[in-house]
C-alpha cells in the first residue's frame, strides 16, 4: 500500500454550458500527461488519469464485486473522500484482476468535449517491426471451419474465435504516442492504457460498452455483426447498408441482444430494447449496435455486479457459454489474458462504466501482442472471418505505423 498523500477524487460532470463551451485542453491535458504505469481511461462521459496505488483489489475466494466494494469502503475509511477503482478484469473471472484505488486521480470531461482532440497525433517513428501471427491465418481458418462443422452437427450455435499478432520492435515502445494516436483516431470511443503486471500495459480503443450505471439508470450497448470499412465513400456506404440487411449478422446480433436482455432482467426494471439494431462506426469497422436502457431494481446492485452477470456475452465467447469456452480453449493456441475481459471504473456508490476489452494489445518493453476475434456461426465462411480479424487489427497497426 502506498503512503502517498490522498487526493479527494471526484467526477467532473459535463453541464449543458460546458457542452456549448467545452473546456479547451481539460481532457487532452490528461492524455498528454499519461506516462507508463499510470492508469488512463477515456469514455464518452469522462476522462480519467490515475496515478500511484492507494490499495489494490485483492484476489481471493470472494466474488469480485464484493472484493471491490470492500476495497472502496476501506479507502473511504482511510481518508479518500470519493474513492474510485480503475483497471482491468481478465476474460477468465477466476484469474487475478488488475484493479486499484489510485493514490491520486484527476478527472475531466470527455475527449470529444475538448476541441484540441481534433489536432493530429504525432506520427510514430519508422520501426522495423517483426510480425508473427499466432496462429497462422491458415490455421485460424481451419479452426473456424472445424467450429462450423460442429455447429452443423448441433454441438453449439456460436463461438468467438480469436487470433493474435506478435510484434517485436528493435527499440523500447513509445506507449504515450500509441495512446495519443488511438485516442485521437476514435475520441468518442473507450480508450485505455492500464498496467496489468510489472512492466506490462494493456492498451487499446474499444467501441463497446458492456454496461454502465449512473444512479438508477443502466445502459448496455452490445455490438455483434460487423464488416470492414472502405476508403472509398460509395463502397463504405454500400457495406454499411449490406450489414443492416445481412441475415447472418442480424441473427448473430439478435442472439447477443437477447442474452444481454435476459441477464439484465434479473436486476433491472423498465428495460427498453429497440426492435432493430442501428450502425456505429469506428475508423476501421462498421458494427451492428443496440442500446438497451433500464432502471436498476436495487440501489445495492453495482455496475460491476451487472457487468459480471453479463460477461462473457455471446459477442466475445459464444453460446452456450460453457461449450463455447471449451471450444475456445481447444482451438486458440494462446491464453486470452485480459483480451475480451473488461476495463473500466467503479465508485463507492455503485456507479461505473465497464467496457469490453477489444481492439487492444498487451505491451511489454519491446513487444506487443495484438488480439482480434470474430463471431463464428453456422453460416460463417473461414476466409471472411479471417479477413474480418485482419481488419480489426488495423486499429492498432495504424497506431504503431505497422503493416501486415
Q: Catalytic residue numbers?
A: 158, 208
Contact 371, 361 (CB under 8 A): yes
Q: Transcribe 336-395 into DSSP letters.
A: -TTTTSEEEEEETTS-EEEEE--SEEEE-SSEEEEEEEEEE-TT--HHHHHHHHHHHHHH
Shortest CA distance to 191 belongs to which of 368, 320, 311, 44? 44
Strand 217-220 and strand 292-296: the pairing is antiparallel
DSSP label of 266? T
What is the full DSSP assignment across 281-331? E-SSEEEEE--EEEEES-TT--HHHHHHHHPSPTTTSEESHHHHHHHHHHH
Beta strands at 352-356 and 342-347: parallel, antiparallel or unpaired? antiparallel
Question: By the 8 A CB rule, do 340 and 316 touch?
Answer: yes
Distance, CA of 51 to CA of 295 (rounded, Å): 33
Cα–Cα distances in Å, from 356 out to 27, 70, 71, 220, 367? 22, 24, 23, 11, 23
Q: Is the dihedral of CA 329, 332, 338, 340 positive or negative?
A: negative
- Specify the 3-state DSSP secondary structure of 140: helix
Measured between alpha carbons, how far is 196 from 36 in angstroms, rounded to an integer? 11
Cell numbers at 297, concatenated: 431494481
State how far Cα 5 lies from the chain centre.
31
**H/E run at residue 167:** strand 158-168
Q: 219 burial class (0-12, 13-18, 19+ CB within 10 angstroms)?
A: middle
Amino acid at each position: 500500500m502506498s503512503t502517498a498523500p490522498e487526493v479527494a477524487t471526484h467526477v467532473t460532470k459535463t453541464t449543458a454550458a460546458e457542452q456549448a463551451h467545452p473546456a479547451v485542453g481539460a481532457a487532452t491535458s490528461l492524455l498528454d500527461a499519461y506516462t507508463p504505469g499510470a492508469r488512463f481511461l477515456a469514455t464518452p462521459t469522462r476522462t480519467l488519469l490515475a496515478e500511484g496505488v492507494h490499495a489494490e483489489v485483492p484476489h481471493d475466494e470472494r466474488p469480485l464485486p464484493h472484493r471491490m466494494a470492500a476495497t472502496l469502503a476501506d479507502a473511504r475509511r482511510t481518508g479518500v473522500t470519493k474513492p474510485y477503482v480503475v483497471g482491468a478484469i481478465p476474460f477468465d473471472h477466476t484469474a487475478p484482476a488488475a484493479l486499484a484505488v489510485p493514490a491520486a486521480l484527476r478527472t475531466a470531461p470527455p475527449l470529444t468535449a475538448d476541441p484540441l482532440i481534433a489536432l493530429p497525433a504525432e506520427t510514430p517513428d519508422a520501426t522495423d517491426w517483426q510480425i508473427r501471427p499466432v496462429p497462422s491465418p491458415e490455421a485460424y481458418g481451419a479452426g473456424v471451419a472445424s467450429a462450423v462443422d460442429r455447429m452443423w452437427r448441433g454441438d453449439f450455435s456460436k463461438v468467438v474465435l480469436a487470433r493474435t499478432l506478435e510484434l517485436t520492435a528493435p527499440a523500447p515502445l513509445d506507449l504515450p504516442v500509441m495512446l495519443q494516436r488511438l485516442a485521437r483516431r476514435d475520441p468518442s470511443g473507450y480508450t485505455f492504457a492500464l498496467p496489468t503486471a510489472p512492466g506490462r500495459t494493456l492498451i487499446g480503443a474499444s467501441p463497446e460498452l458492456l454496461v454502465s450505471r449512473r444512479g438508477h439508470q443502466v445502459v448496455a450497448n452490445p455490438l455483434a455483426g460487423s464488416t470492414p470499412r472502405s476508403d472509398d465513400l460509395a463502397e463504405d456506404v454500400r457495406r454499411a447498408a449490406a450489414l443492416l440487411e445481412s441475415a447472418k449478422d442480424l441473427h448473430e446480433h439478435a442472439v447477443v441482444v437477447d442474452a444481454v436482455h435476459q441477464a439484465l432482467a434479473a436486476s433491472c426494471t423498465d428495460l427498453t430494447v429497440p426492435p432493430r439494431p442501428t450502425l456505429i462506426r469506428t475508423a476501421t469497422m462498421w458494427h451492428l449496435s443496440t442500446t438497451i436502457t433500464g432502471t436498476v431494481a436495487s440501489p445495492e446492485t453495482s455496475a460491476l455486479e451487472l457487468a459480471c452477470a453479463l460477461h462473457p456475452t455471446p459477442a466475445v465467447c459464444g453460446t452456450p457459454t460453457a461449450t463455447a469456452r471449451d471450444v475456445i480453449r481447444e482451438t486458440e493456441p494462446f491464453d486470452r489474458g485480459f483480451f475480451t475481459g473488461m476495463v473500466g471504473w467503479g465508485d463507492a456508490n455503485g456507479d461505473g462504466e465497464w467496457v469490453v476489452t477489444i481492439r487492444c494489445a498487451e505491451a511489454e518493453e519491446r513487444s506487443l501482442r495484438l488480439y482480434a476475434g470474430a463471431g463464428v456461426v453456422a453460416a460463417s465462411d473461414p476466409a471472411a472471418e479471417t479477413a474480418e480479424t485482419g481488419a480489426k487489427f488495423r486499429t492498432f497497426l495504424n497506431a504503431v505505423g505497422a503493416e501486415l
